């Protein structure tokens, strides 16, 4: 589990149920402490390490997962990060890398547009009525350490190994919070889940979060 963090959700623990050991790697000591508290005793190893230079021999792991990490790496270094994950994977092993196309996915454009409009209105209100101190200080979307490539970039790269791109989740967190409420929201979410399961390759490019599946030969 590369850049495991504290293993944020219980569902993430199920990914290693069929393996003897879950190796959690992160640059944060505190994150590894959190991960150790969640992984069953005797089933985990916890290593301080950097995704760009993993401290493991070639072909060390049966399977690898890296969730929402690679797009926080400097854009020019992301190809090398994919190569590094491939390096430590055993032959016949599989790596799953969850990525994002950023806020450009067609499915999530309505939420992105509404957020930008709200930000612009907030800025204007603060300029017109500076005495209204209860207005929150508007902050643009934080792009620090956020460098997602578009799908075309991956197609233009020269890769020494094949991979498939499938859908991890088509709806962004922002869209979910903005539109998916109550009974209608639940039904719409069920529709999205069905759509993702039925057309995983198509929704990978239309939605927000693709996952890269690397099968090492």
Phi/psi for 164 (5° steps) reads -110, 150
Is 198 inside a domain boundary? yes
The tally of CA atoms less than 13 A away on the side-chain side of residue 103 is 15
CATH of the domain at 151: 3.40.50.150
pLDDT of amino acid 121: 59
pLDDT of amino acid 169: 87
pLDDT at 201 over 50: yes
Distance CA 38, CA 12 (A): 10
- Percent of the chain scoring above 90 in pLDDT: 63
Q: What is the mean pLDDT of the chain?
A: 85
Confidence tier at 111 by pLDDT (50, 70, 90) = very low
Is 136 inside a domain boundary? no
Is 5 inside a domain boundary? no
Is 137 inside a domain boundary? no
Is 201 inside a domain boundary? yes
pLDDT at 64 over 70: yes
pLDDT at 1 over 80: yes
Is 147 inside a domain boundary? yes
User: How many separate domains does the chain show?
Assistant: 1
Q: Comparing C-alpha atoms, which of 136, 132, 206, 126 is closest to residue 171?
A: 206
Confidence tier at 138 by pLDDT (50, 70, 90) = very low
Q: Name the residue with tokens 């997602």.
A: 148
Is 123 inside a domain boundary? no
Domain of 51? 10-104+143-215
Task: Quickly list DSSP for 164-192.
Answer: EEEEEESS-HHHHHHH--HHHHHHHHHHH
What is the mean predicted confidence (pLDDT) over 98-121?
63
Distance CA 187, CA 66 (A): 30
Distance CA 142, CA 144 (A): 6
Is 170 inside a domain boundary? yes
């Amino acid at each position: 589990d590369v850049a495991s963090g504290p293993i944020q959700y219980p569902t993430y623990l199920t990914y290693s149920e069929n393996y003897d050991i879950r190796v959690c790697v992160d640059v944060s000591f505190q994150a590894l402490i959190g991960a150790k508290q969640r992984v069953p005793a005797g089933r985990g190893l916890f290593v301080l390490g950097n995704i760009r230079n993993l401290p493991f021999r070639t072909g060390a792991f049966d399977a690898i997962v890296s969730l929402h990490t690679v797009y926080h790496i400097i854009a020019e270094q992301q190809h090398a990060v994919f190569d590094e994950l491939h390096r430590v994977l055993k032959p016949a092993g599989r790596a799953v890398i969850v990525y994002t196309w950023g806020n450009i996915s067609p499915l999530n454009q309505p939420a992105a547009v509404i957020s930008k409009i709200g930000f612009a209105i907030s800025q204007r209100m603060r300029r017109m009525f500076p005495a209204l101190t209860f207005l929150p200080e508007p902050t643009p979307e934080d792009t620090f350490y956020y460098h997602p490539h578009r799908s075309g970039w991956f197609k233009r790269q020269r890769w020494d190994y094949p991979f498939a791109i499938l859908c991890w989740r088509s709806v962004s967190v922002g869209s979910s919070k903005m539109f998916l409420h109550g009974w209608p929201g639940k039904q719409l979410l069920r529709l999205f889940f069905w759509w993702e399961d039925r057309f995983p390759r198509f929704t990978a490019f239309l939605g927000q979060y693709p996952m890269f599946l690397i099968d090492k030969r």
